[in-house]
Amino acid sequence: MAEHRSMQRGALLDAARSLLSEGGTEALTFPALAERTGLARSSVYEYFRSRAAVVEELCEVDFPVWAAEVSAAMERAESAEGKVEAYVRRQLDLVGDRRHRAVVAISAAELDAGAREKIRAAHGGLVAMIGEALASLGHAEPRLAAMLLQGVVDAAVRRIELGAAEDPSAITEAAVAMALRGVRG
């Protein structure tokens, strides 16, 4: 029974990822989740008390996985500049991934404080890692530089998501070049 419940919970989260990546937070409704999973709407409420609860669980499940992929790419890099490049490149490589799309849709959304806190904590881990790399490059304000660097990444993510005129690889290369020039101060 517990195994069945965990499968259904997994199916609901997967449906939530799809809905978020297709239509953003407005698309994430209980009727849509019920329809996608073939569960009765009342059953959806047995698993999640609200949309915020669905979002919070997605954050708990997906954010760490996504952050771990970025973190692993950074750890493989030999130099501080290599870490900066990996930080930018890996995040942009993950743009097509539904987990990432859901996370991006969520970040932009109105969340309850609990969910926002979880996102901040996961983001905080990445910002701390990139902050260390920036500090070792001699940055006087590594935390500020990390926030600005993430702004470049976020802008590139949006540009790729919009299906902008440029090829995604051109957007990635431009973001990497800008990041590396910027962090060299």
Q: What is the pLDDT of residue 185?
A: 58
- Rounded Cα distance between 89 and 176, Å, is 7
pLDDT of residue 12: 95
The pLDDT value given to residue 94 = 85
Residue pair 12/49 in contact (Cβ under 8 Å)? The answer is no
Low-confidence ranges of the chain (pLDDT < 70): 1, 104-111, 185
Please count the other Cβ atoms lying within 10 Å of the Cβ belonging to residue 179.
24
Predicted local distance difference test score (pLDDT) of residue 35: 96
Helices (H), 28-97: 30-37, 41-47, 51-76, 80-93
DSSP 94: G
